[in-house]
Amino acid sequence: MDTLERIKQQIENHALLLYMKGTPQFPQCGFSGQVVHILKICKAKFAYVNILENLDIRQTLPIYANWPTFPQLYLNGELLGGCDIVTELFEKGELQTQLAAAGVLADNMEAVAAEV
């Protein structure tokens, strides 16, 4: 499977997917850390891909998404945006509404992250 097909499959198979630098436990950039922090506050269940360990995805995803920077957060196959947009949606309360409608909020008191 080529990289573009792998990206498409990852996005299709995960309701909430974060392409980030590092991991939720150890973000490797402040912007990725900010998005993870917001998802944890929202108690979201999300999958993630560490683009620092996946050079082919790091190079191909910006072309596929027509979005040059990371992190990139996808909800139900659609790019929500990067750190600034996710933060703005969160501050307006719109992110929480979208996450609840998508059914990606954790039943327990903590966010759940799974590596793709």
Query: What residue spans define the domains of the chain?
Result: 3-115
What is the dotted CATH code of the domain comprising 3-115? 3.40.30.10
Residue 114 pLDDT grade (very low, low, confident, very high; cuts 50, 70, 90): confident
Tell whether residue 58 is among the known ligand binding residues.
yes
- pTM summary value: 0.94
Across the chain, what does the average pLDDT equal?
94
pLDDT at 70: 97
Question: Worst-scoring range by mean pLDDT, 7-21, 25-39, 98-112?
Answer: 98-112
Average pLDDT, integer, range 92-107: 94
Tell whether residue 70 is among the known ligand binding residues.
yes
pLDDT over 90 (residue 116)? no
Q: Which helix (H) or strand (E) holds 15?
A: none
Tell the residue number behind the tokens 């590596």, with chain if given: 115
Dihedral sign of CA atoms 13, 16, 94, 69 in order: negative
Average pLDDT, integer, range 46-71: 96
81: alpha, beta or left? (left if phi > 0; alpha if psi -120 to 50): left
pLDDT over 90 (residue 110)? no
Tell whether residue 29 is among the known ligand binding residues.
yes
Closest among 50, 25, 39 to 83, alpha carbons compared: 39
Asked if 76 contacts 102 with a C-beta cutoff of 8 angstroms, the reply is yes
